[in-house]
Structure 1
């Protein structure tokens, strides 16, 4: 079967990304189920193909041999009328269980933030997914829990464990721990960590921790949580760096935190998924990460309303793939090394194309804006230290900024007729720009 390319879509909307992976229309949010299988990266995502609104959530599916060119697959999961996921197939992960690919996700029956952890198995090449939904873990009985969702799997001590994001009415975010040795039947094991942890208190207060990720980066374990609030803007994405060991007395994983921080300081980044790569893709073992880029522009930059999204027929996309780095217990994300292959001819910083990369080297001040000769809206502004390097990647309406030695920043900005992206920098700043093109 020949699959349509998702990175060569010709779209009437100038703000539609050309190099990021997403379908031509519909709503997209959290990346899910990232898996390397038979020489291809498979990335699933929250998807409503019918409109630019969060409703009737399915799992979309794309794959790539190189993280550069993407092909769209048929929808992998759809809500089952009357089933445990009748309201939506919400976020989760993928795994290989006894040689068979499986998707593990939150099945939601109503919009009340209660969910069950469901398992669906598929063909060995990941091309199709069976109809049977297995309930691995039901909504816990604890009445204090107001939110439970977004299962994540990890291995420690020769066994498989699971996490779910959660929120308690009185105390906020927490991660529930399960023994998932039997993928179809999990055993509740209490709480791995919650917002009362002395290091976790450094994160912004929220009502729940969702989309938990727990990966090993070098000698450290990195826990990532999305900071969710009821009927209010999210508080961003936090990380906690620490150690993870099996407690000799209980036989359960114990996480000891050392440092907490924010993974991305931009206005748009949320609900990332991280995956531990073992080198089978031809690159040394690493942790890859994708995030959801929401339709939220930074302060002072023209944004889009829900009506705008409806008129254009799409909303949301996934970021470029990133690699996680830990340095002195601080977590950075950098562009996946494959992305340098997108660099084409040199570009003029005063007349940047809609797909561009800019490399800056300090010292000095610089800013990226969007506008015309009369006025420019500033998307990002920064002061570079001597020798500091910054990379900015632009794709139509998404700008991803990567700093050496600190957290990234993801923004949205929407070019209109007569407008262009413009880079302004002090003469002391080293500068080079490229047009980004599909290889």
Structure 2
């Protein structure tokens, strides 16, 4: 296991220097002040307070075993960062990293089910760790599900998701097999400790369906009940290509996968099945720049805005959870010609054909092209940054609009380099932009478009000093 204390300190010093002035750094998305963030894990409502866990490393160094970062919120908007809740135990069942999973409440105890990585093992074993202090710290993990046997021909096995049923507990675990079949393995338990394999919830041989590569395996399975329908949400994956898309598969009828997000930078969704805010979905906002640039910046990754989900025309639709409206500062103004900072929201209230352009400088701009007649939407990043290390690839949606819906045609939420875009039909695009020009920026848009300034001091840097500075001393 790599010793974090033995690593070079230059990335830390760089991060400390750039955090104040780095206009790419998200301010209201859950993130670390420095270091690496990926999969959200086990969001849970404990007595009306949301606890969100996530994969984290104190530095942007993938050799450091991943741990479970921890943030809490009373409103899903203002978050406080705490010390990591689960830290890998040297020589233990998670010595190579505490990988993804979820949490549940059982008789006042918070149970975390997650994948423990051991570097010499072919699988990430399903572990259980318990918290008796309200989800702040967890005890030593124990393995509760046997790894697949050799005769099952399983080549990937990880990321448990546990939920309570009328007659006990169910667990979903993502898997890949030697014959290119992705599956969600299903386990059952009376007490949440002793588990029995109950077959597959759903499986699919790798194919292209609805324009999606369904993957050789499925990571991060989540089971969400929406409008009375059970929906599996998985991250498609393959040994050769790694992560693919987040797809939703209704568990009724023939499996038919649809993308949860049509952008390039949304992965590893995680859900709260029930909470004070209803069902809520989060995702990992990945980076869209070179690894070298990320290392120089000293930070990587963020957690998406909380999303509300519903079923529309047989597929999962999402939008920002209504609590996000609390980020708006003051009243709206006409978007066209407005000068904005790095935290803003732009809304097109009716389906009007035209272009929303975020103009960072004369040479740098992001175009969101809305074509109502063709029923298409395209996000064009070709000129979003003059730095060649930024990803310029576009994203597009067909059928993004629903004229009958009581939702804006297009809603764009900007937070530094993070752009989350939502449409009236429940489609979304999560993407990243890295303009070299710092704000203020300007907006060109159809006359009906509105813009709000958004809060920019509500991110996870707000934290109890005594609680967090020991783990993140640069704050």
Would the TM-score normalized by the shorter structure come out above 0.5? yes
- Per-residue CA deviations over 1:347-373 (Å, capped at 9, x if unaligned) read 654422100001102221223445312
Among 250, 259, 262, the residue aligned to 2:259: 262
TM-score, with normalisation over the residues of structure 1? Answer: 0.85
TM-score, with normalisation over the residues of structure 2? Answer: 0.79
State how 1:226-245 maps to structure 2 within 5 Å: 226-232=235-241, 234-243=243-252
Residues 1:207 and 2:199 are matched in the alignment: no
Residues 1:120 and 2:120 are matched in the alignment: no
SS of match in other structure, 1:11: coil
* CA apart distance, 1:14: 1.5
What residue in structure 2 maps to residue 293 of structure 1?
Answer: 285
CA distance in 1, matches of 2:210, 2:324: 36
CA distance in 1, matches of 2:273, 2:264: 26
Among 104, 125, 134, the residue aligned to 2:113: 104
- Per-residue CA deviations over 1:198-228 (Å, capped at 9, x if unaligned) read 9978741322101001111112111101011
What residue in structure 1 maps to residue 423 of structure 2?
Answer: 403
What residue in structure 1 maps to residue 344 of structure 2?
Answer: 356
SS of match in other structure, 1:191: strand
What residue in structure 1 maps to residue 434 of structure 2?
Answer: 414
Residues 1:308 and 2:293 are matched in the alignment: yes
Among 69, 76, 80, the residue aligned to 2:78: 69
Call closer, same or farther: CA 1:200–1:213 in 2, change over 3 Å: farther
Call closer, same or farther: CA 1:268–1:422 in 2, change over 3 Å: farther
* CA apart distance, 1:276: 1.4
CA distance in 2, matches of 1:325, 1:86: 39
Corresponding pairs, count: 403
Which segment is superposed worse, 172-181 or 414-423?
Answer: 414-423
CA distance in 2, matches of 1:201, 1:141: 33
CA distance in 2, matches of 1:378, 1:406: 22
State how 1:18-417 maps to structure 2 within 5 Å: 18-53=27-62, 55-110=64-119, 114-130=123-139, 132-143=140-151, 144-196=153-205, 203-232=212-241, 234-243=243-252, 256-257=253-254, 259-278=256-275, 281=276, 283=277, 286-296=278-288, 304-345=289-330, 346=332, 348-350=335-337, 351-360=339-348, 361-373=350-362, 375-378=363-366, 380-384=368-372, 387=403, 389-417=409-437
Which segment is superposed worse, 310-319 or 378-387?
Answer: 378-387
Which segment is superposed worse, 67-76 or 50-59?
Answer: 50-59
Call closer, same or farther: CA 1:63–1:419 in 2, change over 3 Å: closer
Alpha carbons 1:199, 1:258 under 8 Å: kept: no
Alpha carbons 1:239, 1:331 under 8 Å: kept: yes
* CA apart distance, 1:66: 0.5
What residue in structure 1 maps to residue 379 of structure 2?
Answer: none
Among 439, 450, 458, the residue aligned to 1:432: 450
Alpha carbons 2:108, 2:132 under 8 Å: kept: no
CA distance in 2, matches of 1:306, 1:202: 29
**RMSD (CA atoms):** 2.4
SS of match in other structure, 1:415: coil
Alpha carbons 2:59, 2:299 under 8 Å: kept: no
Call closer, same or farther: CA 1:224–1:199 in 2, change over 3 Å: farther
Higher relative contact order (CA 8 A, sep 6+): 2
SS of match in other structure, 2:425: coil
SS of match in other structure, 1:89: strand
Alpha carbons 2:280, 2:306 under 8 Å: kept: yes
Call closer, same or farther: CA 1:163–1:391 in 2, change over 3 Å: same
CA distance in 2, matches of 1:272, 1:414: 24
CA distance in 1, matches of 2:107, 2:155: 34
- Per-residue CA deviations over 1:350-408 (Å, capped at 9, x if unaligned) read 422100001102221223445312x2343533324695611110000100001111421
CA distance in 2, matches of 1:125, 1:307: 39
Question: Can you give the 5+ residue segments of structure 1 that lack an aligned partner in the other structure?
Answer: 1-8, 244-255, 297-303
